[in-house]
Amino acid sequence: MEYDTSIIRPEIRFEDVKIRGVGYDEERRKEILKALRFLHAREIMAANVYKCQIKSKACKLNTWLTAGMASEMTHVSDFQTKLYEFGAKPSKSRFVFWFAGYVFGFGSRILGEERMLRTGVWVEEEAVKHYQEVLDRVDWDDETRAFVEKDQQDEYAHIERWKTLLGEPGYGCRQD
Predicted confidence (pLDDT) per residue in 83-138, tens digit: 999 999 999 999 999 999 999 999 999 999 999 999 999 999 999 999 999 999 99
Band the pLDDT of 176: cuts 50, 70, 90: very low
> Residue 171: pLDDT band by 50, 70, 90 thresholds?
confident
Closest CA relative to residue 124, chosen from 90, 82, 153, 98: 153
pLDDT over threshold 90, residue 2: no
Q: What's the topology of domain 25-167?
A: Ferritin (1.20.1260)
Q: Which residues contact 107 (CB under 8 A, 6 or more apart)?
A: 119
Question: What per-residue confidence (pLDDT) applies to 51?
Answer: 98
The model carries a pTM of 0.93
Instruction: Give the residue extent of every domain in the chain.
Output: 25-167
Residue among 176, 119, 140 at smallest CA distance from 28 = 140
Please write the tens of the pLDDT for every residue from 52-76: 999 998 899 999 999 999 999 999 9
